[in-house]
Amino acid sequence: MMRAVVKPILIRQHVDSAPAGLLADWLDARGLAYEIDRTWLGASVPDPERFAFVASLGHDKMAGDVDDPAVAAERELLRLAVARDVPVLGLCYGGQVLAAVLGAEVGPAPVAELGWREIETDVPELVPVGPWLEWHFERFCTPPGATELARTADAPQAFRVGPHLGVQFHPEATVEIVAGWARADAAQLAARGIDDGEALLVASAERRAAAQAAAFRLFDGFLAITDHFHQRVAV
């Protein structure tokens, strides 16, 4: 069957240290066209209707920093995407911005989630248990009207509203990417009694492969949601 989605996918990359990683690998493996918008270079906010969906990646800013122009611009883009029925995939910071746009509280996490985690999920066919890499000091609450899909004991981990999906973990991240964040956050980690953040990321080849498989499963599931959504609105 021919896929309904023919527009490219927009990836919003917010800092050089947080690239698309496994998301780009998945897009390449599936033969999907995409554009990476490196937001820190100062380009204007694109029209979300040009794209099949918008994926918003991680950031060293906080979704609640509304006085920051970059955060304000991301909020505006995701607000427009939601208003114009362009599906959004929000990953960690991107998930927090999506949650905020949908009316949820975002703010400091009671417990920072760092390193490898498995999650409790209601929909393992879309949001697998993991293993997932987490690296966040903030968190989102589940937006009003959204369905919470997954959680840990410390925070919600995934929610869905229509074609929009926000997750708190980093399906796109590799150990090497998160190791860079651990080095950059050394002072913040030390204040929390963590001397070696990279030690939280140690993983066997089998765990790395399982994380990639879980990420591809999540991305495939989200693509199926967007395809179904585009087919329905086209009728």
Q: What string of pLDDT tens digits covers the 235 residues of the chain?
A: 345 558 999 999 999 999 999 999 999 999 999 999 999 887 778 999 999 999 999 999 989 888 899 999 999 999 999 999 999 999 999 999 999 999 999 999 999 999 999 999 999 999 999 999 999 999 999 999 999 999 999 999 999 999 999 999 999 999 999 999 999 999 999 999 999 999 999 999 999 999 999 999 999 999 999 998 888 776 5
Helix axes 93-101, 69-83, angle to 10 degrees: 60
How far apart (Å, rounded) are the C-alpha atoms in residues 147 and 11?
A: 24
Looking up residue 25, the CATH number of its domain turns out to be 3.40.50.880
User: Is 69 among the domain residues?
Assistant: yes
Where do we find the tokens 């991301």? 74
Closest CA to 80 of 104, 56, 107, 106: 56
Which one of 74, 134, 138, 172 is the catalytic residue? 172
Asked if residue 1 is part of any domain, the answer here is: no
Phi, psi dihedral angles at 212 (to 5 degrees): -65, -40
Assigned domain for 83 exists: yes
Residue 2: what pLDDT? 41
Check 14, 59, 136, 170 and give the catalytic one. Answer: 170
**Residue 59 designated active-site:** no
According to DSSP, the residues that pair with 150 across neighbouring strands are: 121, 158
CA neighbours within 13 Å on the CB side: how many for 197? 25
Give the total number of structural domains in the chain: 1
* Residue entry with tokens 């390449």: 28
Residue 42: per-residue pLDDT: 79
Which residue in the list 59, 92, 134, 141 is annotated as catalytic? Answer: 92
170 tagged catalytic: yes
The single-letter code of the amino acid at 175 is V
The answer as to whether 4 is a domain residue is: no
92 is catalytic: yes
Phi, psi dihedrals of residue 100, rounded to the nearest 5°: -65, -40
Q: Could you tell me the residue range of the domain that residue 30 belongs to?
A: 9-234
- pLDDT attached to residue 232: 76
